[in-house]
Chain A
Amino acid sequence: MSERRRSRFLGRIDWILMGLVVVISGIGILNLFSASRAAYGMPVHISQSLWFAIGSVVAVLTMLVDYKWFERWAYFAFGAVCVLLVAVLFVGTELNGSYRWLNFGFFMMQPSELLKVGVILFTARYLHDRDFSAGMSLADLVVPCGIVGASVFLVLKQPDLGTSLVILSIFGSILLYQGLRMSSLMTLAVVGLLSIPVVWNFGMHDYQRARVVSFLNLDEDTHGSSWQVRQSIIAFGSGRAWGKGHVESTQIQKGFVPEHENDFVAANWGEERGFVGMAGLLGLYFALIVWGLRIASLARDKFGALVAVGVSATIFWHVFVNVGMVTGMLPVVGLTLPFMSAGGSSLVTLMFEIGLLMNVSIRRRTLI
């Protein structure tokens, strides 16, 4: 790039977005440092830092290329992810009873993570190519819902209820942002309610049903998923207003909360920093999401806007479901907390999405 274009480029970099992501990730690493004292093996905060570094590189690369390129390859990417999803059902590695991972020898990858991005790109492209300024009618919805639904079905087959639901939620958020007609909305609502018993009886596995049931009976002193949540609630609650202090979370460190590095990582933060700490963290997430929506509203075209909405929705739904789950408000569905839960594949995927967001932001309309 020429000198002028580079400086213009640099000037348009969304430092606030970057700042928010870095701060939250930093908190995540700090949190894992304290939480990982209960584990054995390589300290997870170190590995998380490495993944963050890799993710940052991915984000930068994503940011450099004009996102028109992504628009062009959106359908192809979506198709490729679907192929991987089919593959994982046949040759996937089994873990805890479900087939979610593909083993490439030197690294393992979860296609369902990629579908989160895939659906965003697909939907953004699909809606971008058409004019729905009057809102989407039921007829309009059939094709996109059908295609996305089919891909989600592949995820549901693994089985992975949590990811399926979150992908559908992200999809729905994008559609809502585009705009649905009232009639469609009403119809969907009714159909949704009617399908609950069907899904309950035929679509869910026993353990999934059990989770919902135990969620509703949380007060009973049972072992299993509700015991885990109860321990998490105790961890949170014992933090009270100001928390127990850095590296002082007795519940986490003494091993009372299982999955304390993945799904239940917020419990450590809540125990050590208290309500104040949690409110602060939620504040940061809120800021990030709102900023993403702002980027959407300033995007130069519909594709960019919808991609931005998709990324914001991803973050929103993950945070909402995860924090709701670990505080006992929602059933346990195995959703990670963005930038905080340990795990390379989810972090890198997320950073890729942040890269897209950054991309859309840089190429926004300038306000005059």
Chain B
Amino acid sequence: MSAVKHEIGGKRFLSFVLAVAIAFSMLLGRLWYVQILHGDEYYRASTENIIRNIEVSPPRGRLLDRNSTVLAENRPSFDVVVHPHQFVEPKDADTPRPLQLLQGYLNLSKEDVERLAKSISQKQGEVLIARDVTRAQVALVETDRLRLPGVEVRANSHRQYPLEQVTAHVVGFMGEIRANELKDSEQFGYRSGDYVGRMGIERAYESILRGAPGIERQVVDARGIPQGEAETRFLIGDYQKVEPIAGRDLVTTIDARLHLIIDEAMRNYPAGGVVALDPRDGSLLAMYSKPSFNPNSWSGRLSSQEKLRSDNDPYKPMLDKTVSAYFPGSTFKIVGALATFEEGVMGADDEFKCPGYYRFGGRNFRCWKHGGHGDMTVSQALQHSCDVYFYHVAETIGIDKIAEYGYGFGFGELTGYPINDESPGRMPTKEWHRKRSPDGFKYGFALNTILGQGDTLATPLQVALAYGAVANGGDVYYPRVIDRVQTAAGDPLFVFDPKVRKTVKMDPVALEEIRKGLWLAVNGDGGTAYAHRPENIEVSGKTGTAQVHKIGRIRVANRDKELRFRDHAWFAGYAPSDEPTLVLVVFLQHGGHGGSDAAPVAMDIITRYFAGEDPLAQKIGEKHVAPTPSVAGVGERDDVSSGDIEDVNDLISSDAGMDFETDQESPSE
């Protein structure tokens, strides 16, 4: 046994003590760094750890029509969330696992369940299991609470559109906010899972409708469980609540009754747009587009069948046709008529003979009536929609002048419609043709242009505003959709005043003759709409047939052509003829013939509108199921096949664009 005799103070003892001292100094140094140097910073971090801000969202503002009929409202909905810390697996193997139960009750897919299991295992905050579940599902979850620990059914609200597809384009719908949008909107209080307007007024007036969320602050522990009152008061004092700002209601100029009348009148035609406005102030009474879509489905869950149907529909249901540009056809002739007077081509009583054709540039341009109309004044030319008359005018003044008068009426430029993206249309000029037409500019183009063919493009809204100018004596208004903003209680906060955008320079004689022509078209024998004139009200207007495709030199009847080659049918007019209060434009895409197709639809609408018919009231009377708030959403959802929950955001990206006709043929020989 060797004796290691180290004295106290022996070298080894000291060196070890020193080593330990150095190590402990390092620890003290680190503690100094954390606790003294950065102590305040960590103190702040520690309080932030425990204060949680809960945001309280106010209800979204409603959309009302001019008579306070509800166009968009909120209905109660239920979400299912789970608190991960309380979500424990059952001890014995026989008890079914909670996620399994939820999968069955809520129709979750396998991928959903896997994704949820992963989120839950991270034990952070809350996990949303399902949004807007049916009442049956709520019942299933609630009655099985004992086997579903930590699962909460939470009340929420969901957007609902009582009129469904009838007002879909102008009212719009809502979709869940996307990640890239969230980046910019987070500062305004948007959170993941929030819904934003995706089309129509819902989108254009999103911030007014949404309001701003309030904040409620709580002291919580690491599991997010709120702590006691005393604790809360101690740590955050009185700064516990920030009140939310309520979403505001919007009263629109839209007339729901009129939309319903239009919807019924359009039943025989698959596609088109109808615009109705008040010529006295530019208020839009109807902005109807067909085919349409169900905003309740699009704001909630879209089945894959619906999505596929929408994508493959050649008539593009997501497109708002009221502000898409098409060949206006003969409705455009009022431009030519005005030019006639203003440029001094003809006087009010001057006549021009239409033999059925017009000789220009070595070719014969045909009139639609092969035999010709004989001698015509301007107003008669409008009445009979004589092409030859206007060919003459076109040749006389040239394409640039036509464009000038077109712009004068508001064609070729944006109307200022604030709701959906609109096309400016097109008024072709020499310059434009030089740049765009394959063979450059040709004088013959003017002849097509004045007929609303060739490269002339206009939206139904532009046509309506132009005819409105004729109806009210020359004012082209800004289209007005929102009448006022008001609180949920009905107190007005802001009123939108009508505003004139431009005034058409019109000689009083010119105006009178144009009006006469439009009156004669409906009420004068031989007028293109004469056959369909209504009994109880005087209507003035103009038909239009825009030729889309000509097969060779032979004019084939519309019914014998493929759908997409058929002519567009238009009617544009106002009523009553004296002191008009309504301007109506009916556009039937590939609808056939203005006189025989568009005019009857328009007259039907006008008659029923002025007679005060109310389809909603009638339907209830006939026990027809009109969409009611409590049924619409729920019924839709139950029919949706399981697991097909689509992200509607991806669907409207390309379709919300504009429709241009690119295949054109001039109506020459």
A-side residues, CB < 8 A to B, are 128, 131, 133, 177, 179, 223, 231, 233-241, 250-251, 253-256, 270, 274-275, 278-279, 282, 285-286, 289-290, 293-294, 296-303, 305, 309, 316, 320, 323-324, 327-329, 365
Task: Bits for B557-576, please: 1 = Cβ < 8 Å to A, else 0.
Answer: 00000000000000000000
Contact A275 B31 (CB under 8 A): yes
Instruction: Collect the chain A residues with CB atoms within 8 Å of residue B31's CB.
Output: 236, 270, 275, 278-279, 282, 323, 327
* Cβ-neighbour of A256 out of B34, B41, B49, B227 (below 8 A): B49
> Known pairs A278-B35, A297-B8, A302-B2. 16 more at Cβ < 8 A?
A133-B2, A236-B35, A237-B34, A237-B43, A240-B36, A240-B42, A240-B43, A255-B223, A270-B35, A275-B35, A278-B31, A279-B28, A300-B3, A324-B30, A328-B30, A329-B26
Q: How far is the CA of A248 from the CA of B12 in the complex (A)?
A: 44
Instruction: Collect the chain A residues with CB atoms within 8 Å of residue B432's CB.
Output: none
Q: 17 A-B residue contacts at CB 8 Å? A: A223-B122, A233-B42, A234-B46, A237-B45, A238-B42, A250-B46, A250-B47, A250-B50, A251-B49, A256-B222, A275-B36, A282-B31, A286-B21, A289-B20, A297-B10, A301-B2, A327-B27
Contact A131 B2 (CB under 8 A): yes
A128 touching B35 in the complex, CB below 8 Å, given contacts A177-B16, A234-B45, A251-B49: no
Instruction: Collect the chain A residues with CB atoms within 8 Å of residue B4's CB.
Output: 299, 301-302, 305
* Cβ-neighbour of B32 out of A231, A253, A275, A286 (below 8 A): A275
Task: Give B202-254 interface residues, CB cut-off 8 Å to A.
Answer: 220-223, 227
Q: How far is the CA of A97 from the CA of B47 in the complex (A)?
A: 35
A239 touching B35 in the complex, CB below 8 Å, given contacts A223-B122, A298-B8, A302-B1: yes
A329 touching B38 in the complex, CB below 8 Å, given contacts A235-B46, A290-B17: no
Task: Bits for B31-59, please: 1 = Cβ < 8 Å to A, else 0.
Answer: 11011101111110111011000000000
Interface core residue of A233, A254, A309 (most chain B CB under 10 Å): A254
Contact A290 B34 (CB under 8 A): no
Q: How far is the CB of A10 from chain B (nearest CB, A)?
A: 23
Q: How far is the CB of A220 from chain B (nearest CB, A)?
A: 15
Q: How far is the CA of A241 from the CA of B38 in the complex (A)?
A: 11
Q: How far is the CA of A62 from the CA of B12 in the complex (A)?
A: 27
Taking the complex as formed, is B24 at the interface, i.e. its CB lies under 8 A from any CB of chain A? yes
* Cβ-neighbour of A177 out of B12, B49, B122 (below 8 A): B12
Q: How far is the CA of A328 from the CA of B45 in the complex (A)?
A: 16
Q: How far is the CA of A274 from the CA of B35 in the complex (A)?
A: 7
Q: How far is the CB of A67 from chain B (nearest CB, A)?
A: 13
Contact B2 A128 (CB under 8 A): yes
Taking the complex as formed, is B23 at the interface, i.e. its CB lies under 8 A from any CB of chain A? yes
Contact A297 B13 (CB under 8 A): yes
Contact B35 A296 (CB under 8 A): no
Q: How far is the CB of B10 from chain A (nearest CB, A)?
A: 6
Q: How far is the CA of A298 from the CA of B38 in the complex (A)?
A: 43
Interface core residue of B5, B20, B21 (most chain A CB under 10 Å): B20
Interface core residue of A133, A237, A301, A316 (most chain B CB under 10 Å): A237
Taking the complex as formed, is B7 at the interface, i.e. its CB lies under 8 A from any CB of chain A? yes
Q: How far is the CA of A299 from the CA of B39 in the complex (A)?
A: 44
Q: How far is the CA of A253 from the CA of B222 in the complex (A)?
A: 9
Q: How far is the CB of A73 from chain B (nearest CB, A)?
A: 17
Instruction: Collect the chain B residues with CB atoms within 8 Å of residue A235's CB.
Output: 46
Q: Which residue of B lies closest to A237 (CB)?
A: B42
Q: How far is the CB of B50 from chain A (nearest CB, A)?
A: 6
Q: How far is the CA of A301 from the CA of B4 in the complex (A)?
A: 6
Contact A236 B42 (CB under 8 A): yes
Q: Which residue of B lies closest to A240 (CB)?
A: B39
* Cβ-neighbour of A320 out of B1, B23, B122, B222 (below 8 A): B23
Contact A238 B13 (CB under 8 A): no
Q: Which residue of A lies closest to B27 (CB)?
A: A323
Taking the complex as formed, is B6 at the interface, i.e. its CB lies under 8 A from any CB of chain A? yes
A286 touching B24 in the complex, CB below 8 Å, given contacts A239-B35, A255-B221, A270-B35: yes
Contact B30 A251 (CB under 8 A): no
Q: How far is the CA of A239 from the CA of B35 in the complex (A)?
A: 7
Contact B34 A236 (CB under 8 A): yes
Contact A237 B35 (CB under 8 A): yes
Contact A254 B50 (CB under 8 A): yes
Q: Which residue of A lies closest to B37 (CB)?
A: A237
Instruction: Collect the chain A residues with CB atoms within 8 Å of residue B49's CB.
Output: 231, 234, 251, 254, 256
Task: Give B358-385 interface residues, CB cut-off 8 Å to A.
Answer: none
Q: How far is the CA of A36 from the CA of B124 in the complex (A)?
A: 23
Q: How far is the CB of B31 from chain A (nearest CB, A)?
A: 5
Contact B39 A327 (CB under 8 A): no
Q: How far is the CB of A314 from chain B (nearest CB, A)?
A: 13
Q: How far is the CB of B553 from chain A (nearest CB, A)?
A: 75
Q: Which residue of B lies closest to A71 (CB)?
A: B1
Instruction: Collect the chain A residues with CB atoms within 8 Å of residue B227's CB.
Output: 254
Contact B39 A238 (CB under 8 A): yes
Contact B16 A293 (CB under 8 A): yes
Q: How far is the CA of A234 from the CA of B47 in the complex (A)?
A: 10
Q: How far is the CB of B252 from chain A (nearest CB, A)?
A: 47
Contact B24 A241 (CB under 8 A): no
Q: How far is the CB of A37 from chain B (nearest CB, A)?
A: 12
A233 touching B34 in the complex, CB below 8 Å, given contacts A223-B122, A238-B42: yes
Instruction: Collect the chain A residues with CB atoms within 8 Å of residue B21's CB.
Output: 286
Instruction: Collect the chain A residues with CB atoms within 8 Å of residue B40's CB.
Output: 240
Q: How far is the CA of A2 from the CA of B642 in the complex (A)?
A: 90
Q: Which residue of B lies closest to A283 (CB)?
A: B24
* Cβ-neighbour of A251 out of B20, B35, B46 (below 8 A): B46
Interface core residue of A250, A253, A282 (most chain B CB under 10 Å): A250
Instruction: Collect the chain A residues with CB atoms within 8 Å of residue B7's CB.
Output: 297
Q: How far is the CB of A206 from chain B (nearest CB, A)?
A: 18
Contact A239 B39 (CB under 8 A): yes
Instruction: Collect the chain B residues with CB atoms within 8 Å of residue A131's CB.
Output: 2
Q: How far is the CB of B491 from chain A (nearest CB, A)?
A: 45
Q: Which residue of A lies closest to B43 (CB)?
A: A238
Q: Which residue of A lies closest to B85 (CB)?
A: A255
Q: How far is the CA of A320 from the CA of B41 in the complex (A)?
A: 25
Contact B222 A302 (CB under 8 A): no
Task: Bits for B105-133, please: 1 = Cβ < 8 Å to A, else 0.
Answer: 00000000000000000101000000000
* Cβ-neighbour of A238 out of B5, B36, B46 (below 8 A): B46
Q: Which residue of B lies closest to A305 (CB)?
A: B4
Contact A282 B28 (CB under 8 A): yes
Instruction: Collect the chain A residues with CB atoms within 8 Å of residue B17's CB.
Output: 290, 293
Q: How far is the CA of A127 from the CA of B341 in the complex (A)?
A: 124
Sort A-B residue pairs by CB-CB distance and give the 5 closest, nearest first. A237-B42, A240-B39, A238-B46, A255-B222, A254-B221
Q: How far is the CA of A237 from the CA of B46 in the complex (A)?
A: 9
Task: Give B540-595 interface residues, CB cut-off 8 Å to A.
Answer: none
Instruction: Collect the chain B residues with CB atoms within 8 Å of residue A279's CB.
Output: 28, 31
Q: How far is the CA of A298 from the CA of B5 in the complex (A)?
A: 8
Q: Which residue of A lies closest to B219 (CB)?
A: A254
A320 touching B8 in the complex, CB below 8 Å, given contacts A234-B49, A238-B39, A238-B42: no
Q: Which residue of A lies closest to B45 (CB)?
A: A234
Instruction: Collect the chain A residues with CB atoms within 8 Å of residue B35's CB.
Output: 236-237, 239-241, 270, 274-275, 278
Instruction: Collect the chain A residues with CB atoms within 8 Å of residue B2's CB.
Output: 128, 131, 133, 301-302
Q: How far is the CA of A256 from the CA of B28 in the complex (A)?
A: 24
Q: How far is the CA of A131 from the CA of B4 in the complex (A)?
A: 10
Contact B38 A237 (CB under 8 A): yes
Q: How far is the CB of A180 from chain B (nearest CB, A)?
A: 12
Instruction: Collect the chain B residues with CB atoms within 8 Å of residue A254's CB.
Output: 49-50, 220-222, 227
Contact A327 B46 (CB under 8 A): no
Q: How far is the CA of A253 from the CA of B221 in the complex (A)?
A: 8
Q: How far is the CA of A329 from the CA of B24 in the complex (A)?
A: 12
Q: How far is the CB of B88 from chain A (nearest CB, A)?
A: 13
Q: How far is the CB of B84 from chain A (nearest CB, A)?
A: 13
* Cβ-neighbour of A290 out of B20, B43, B124 (below 8 A): B20
Instruction: Collect the chain B residues with CB atoms within 8 Å of residue A274's CB.
Output: 35
Q: How far is the CA of A299 from the CA of B4 in the complex (A)?
A: 8
Q: Which residue of A lies closest to B50 (CB)?
A: A254
Instruction: Collect the chain B residues with CB atoms within 8 Å of residue A294's CB.
Output: 8, 13
